[in-house]
A and B are shown apart, each in its own frame.
Chain A
Amino acid sequence: AQSVTQPDIHITVSEGASLELRCNYSYGATPYLFWYVQSPGQGLQLLLKYFSGDTLVQGIKGFEAEFKRSQSSFNLRKPSVHWSDAAEYFCAVASGGSYIPTFGRGTSLIVHP
């Protein structure tokens, strides 16, 4: 069965600093990987996705993520965080066939001015 681990429950960064949110997955084959962002009281918005090709993928809002098969990781990065990036971030993994993703428990990003 597929699973996703986001080891950091909370991350605090200063505005303008770089950001990396960690995601590790467990799945036998090459997975389909996603990052979503959720603002308070809202639904989730897709930031980026990976299923083949270049292992460094670009998303919306200046985010990028890198797929590392050897580490079973798909970490999300942003070179300079803005106060509006404060939100909950979810990593998700899906397999071929049903493509129904399994979500991690989320990482809450706090941005200090």
Chain B
Amino acid sequence: SQTIHQWPATLVQPVGSPLSLECTVEGTSNPNLYWYRQAAGRGLQLLFYSVGIGQISSEVPQNLSASRPQDRQFILSSKKLLLSDSGFYLCAWSVAGRDGYTFGSGTRLTVV
């Protein structure tokens, strides 16, 4: 069966520290992968998406970056976190976009 793993579940990081969030998918090949951020009381903001290894599209300019070193692995990173980076980060995958997304369980990031 197809599953998506996202970790860690929660993270508290000081301002200026680096960030690495990882997402892996099992049970499918060549998925489209996505990183979303959800701020409190707001909808989902698409940050990055990838249609293949090494192919990253950025939707919002910011101090975050993404990488896809393997077919089913998607990493969200930052060199120096800002307070405004706090939020709930969600990874998702799809094969045929019109079938909808499958989301991971999310990472709650608090920058202090």
Interface residues of A (CB under 8 A from B): 32, 34, 36, 41-46, 49, 51, 90, 94, 96, 98-101, 103-106
Which of B11-19, B40-48, B63-71, B73-81 interfaces with chain A? Answer: B40-48
Chain B contacts for A32, CB-based, 8 A: 97-98
Chain A contacts for B44, CB-based, 8 A: 44, 90, 103
What is the CA–CA distance of A105 and B103 in the complex, to the nearest angstrom? 17
Q: Assuming A41-B108, A104-B43, A105-B43, is B98 touching A94 (CB within 8 A)?
A: yes
Determine chain A's interface SS by DSSP, over half rule: loop
What is the CA–CA distance of A44 and B108 in the complex, to the nearest angstrom? 14
Looking at the complex, which one of A42, A51, A106 makes contact with B105 (CB distance below 8 Å)? A42
Chain A contacts for B34, CB-based, 8 A: 100
A99 to chain B, nearest CB (A): 2
- Assess whether A45 is in contact with B103, with CB atoms less than 8 Å apart: yes
Interface members, chain B 84-104 (any A CB < 8 Å)? 90, 92, 94, 96-104
